[in-house]
Amino acid sequence: MTPGQGRQRLAAVEDRVRWRRSLAGRPLTLTIRDICRPATVSLRRLLPVASFVGCGDVRVRDATDESGACVPGTLFAAVRGGRHDGLMFVDEALQRGAGALLVPRALPKAKVPQCVVPDVRWAYARVCQCIAGEPSRRLKLVGVTGTNGKTTVSWLLRSILQAMGLSTGLLGTIEYDDGGYTQQAELTTPGPRALSTWLASMVSRGTTHATMELSSHALDQDRAAGVELEAAVITNITQDHFDYHGDAASYMSAKSRILGMCRSTGCVVWNAEDQSVSKLVDAANGLGRQVSFAIAAEADVRAEIVSESAEGTRFVVRPSGGQALKMVTPLVGRHNILNILAAMIVAEHLGADRDSIVAGIARLGSIPGRMEAVRCGQPFDVFVDYAHTDDALRRALVELQGVTKGRVICVFGAGGDRDRSKRPLLGAAAATADVCIVTSDNPRSEDPRRILAEVSSGVEDAGGQPLVEEDRRVAIDRALSLARAGDCVLVAGKGHETHQTVGGRRLRFDDREVVRAALSRHPWQSRKAEKQ
């Protein structure tokens, strides 16, 4: 299929997507068959360590790890998940017509061909990429990992590449974009089947470049097994997701897997200010070009902040042995300058000139939920930020204190059913604010009051005096009521999210919408209207 034919087919698919969305109210999950002609994959050739039951080989054109998605002829991969073992769903898959099984051990009762492998998860991801035609090999694909900054680096890089006139895709926490069609993201990194489909969609559309966020979960679960990267970025590594990984060593090990995905001719870009990142890169073998960045450490590319305010930052980029470059960005905070350095280095590796870099960074006014300013004419600043780790929250508060004449008021919480050990750490970070309001984030199935108590203990242990309000809407309104001219309010934790999960309910809740609604009710707004 030519790129032109691919674009025509995608246009027809998008018509069906819009129709289905209007009926169901949610995005349609595309399959490879919607995008291109799937390749027939020989599992014996692809997986030489596999053994076969009931056949000498299994040849497939469709694969899934969801039994409910099986249709006649599908390969069902019995992947063991965090809560359920895929072997529990083999019978359902067979009832729906699964033509073969990818399993960790032979199943005597199953009457279909079986491919037995030691690592079903990895093998399934490889099968998905092969069915899709190995799309990453036909893209200039950049992978970004790190505890914080993945989304910002990805959006910055996309903006620069678009300024170059390149068709660019993006897969990340906020959205999936194949270069023409955009859909709200479900996971930071899609599962193997969805990932291969989106990458194939980019190729069919004629998209040439793409950025992809790689979460620690995705790396640990081999969702992107077989994906080739032209460049790999590691932003930073601090405590997060220990409820899943168990400890820092396992978390770092998961993050390090991105290095093995990078082509030998590719580029590894890393934060020299982060000792954990430096150790990972130093320990890796066979890496291609390596470029480090920093503000306060020795690095290949450094930045010097000239001035900063709540409206943006002026800074100078100083490449080692190169010409200095003066730049301006609407983004606020030192951490965003580090993110810009990472995006710049990758863009230069991909052939960007300085004019495109400057233009791409300058025109990206904000990123949804990433230190996003909410301005309704109020005499104080309000920012909504996704900071949900103690490191990210501490950095956000320090940076806002540096550009705020008055007080910094922080509204934040911690998610339920997640790493409990980081709750007091979040509280300690928030204690640096002048006013600290502890509230609910996404309690999920936990008792919100227990979460509030654990977070508040961290504030108190750090010498702070938290105000506690379980209702997040009320907490935000209270913060705005306390704010005076020259102050700054930071609403942290949820960022771009548009819902709040409480118990078994998923409720509409967008911090930005709540802030705007609250600002419209405050007395100063009425006084402003009278003056007009």
**Which residue, among 401, 308, 385, has the nearest Cα to 148 in the 3D structure?**
385
What pLDDT sits at residue 17? Answer: 44
What pLDDT sits at residue 504? Answer: 85
Given a cut of 80, whether residue 331 has pLDDT beyond it is yes
Per-residue pLDDT of 389-448, as tens digits, reads 999 999 999 999 999 999 999 999 999 999 999 999 999 999 999 999 999 999 999 999
Per-residue pLDDT of 361-387, as tens digits, reads 999 989 999 999 999 999 999 999 999
The model carries a pTM of 0.90
Assign residue 73 a region (left: φ > 0; alpha: ψ between -120 and 50; beta: otherwise).
left
Q: List Cβ neighbours of 53 (8 Å cut-off, separation of 6 or more).
A: 106, 107, 113, 114, 116
More confident: 529 or 71: 71
Q: What is the mean pLDDT of residues 189-197?
A: 97
What pLDDT sits at residue 57? Answer: 97
DSSP β-bridge partners for residue 308: 313
Q: List Cβ neighbours of 197 (8 Å cut-off, separation of 6 or more).
A: 30, 31, 32, 34, 35, 132
What pLDDT sits at residue 321? Answer: 82
Per-residue pLDDT of 226-264, as tens digits, reads 999 999 999 999 867 766 667 888 888 889 999 999 999
What pLDDT sits at residue 531? Answer: 41
As a whole-number percent, the residues of the chain with pLDDT over 90 amount to 84
Give the Å distances, CA to CA, from 327 to 322, 338, 359, 428: 15, 13, 10, 34
Paired sense of beta strands 168-171 and 209-213, if any: parallel
Q: What is the mean pLDDT of residues 210-225?
A: 96
**Which residue, among 37, 104, 114, 30, has the nearest Cα to 75 in the 3D structure?**
114
Q: What is the mean pLDDT of residues 87-95?
A: 98
Given a cut of 80, whether residue 41 has pLDDT beyond it is yes
What pLDDT sits at residue 20? Answer: 36
Given a cut of 90, whether residue 1 has pLDDT beyond it is no
The DSSP symbol for 375 reads: -
Given a cut of 80, whether residue 201 has pLDDT beyond it is yes
Distance of CA 182 to the CA centre of its chain: 15
More confident: 251 or 494: 494
Residue 14: how many CA atoms within 13 Å on its side-chain side? Answer: 15
More confident: 508 or 288: 508
What pLDDT sits at residue 244? Answer: 66
Q: What is the mean pLDDT of residues 139-166?
A: 97
Given a cut of 90, whether residue 51 has pLDDT beyond it is yes
Given a cut of 70, whether residue 14 has pLDDT beyond it is no
Q: What is the mean pLDDT of the chain?
A: 91
In degrees rounded to 5, what are phi and psi of residue 83? -115, -30
**Which residue, among 258, 272, 288, 252, has the nearest Cα to 145 in the 3D structure?**
258
Which residue is it, tokens 């978390």?
A: 251
**pLDDT confidence tier of residue 524, bands split at 50, 70 and 90:** low
Which domains can be identified in the chain, with CATH numbers?
41-130 (3.40.1390.10), 133-363 (3.40.1190.10), 372-529 (3.90.190.20)
What pLDDT sits at residue 436? Answer: 98
As a whole-number percent, the residues of the chain with pLDDT over 70 amount to 90
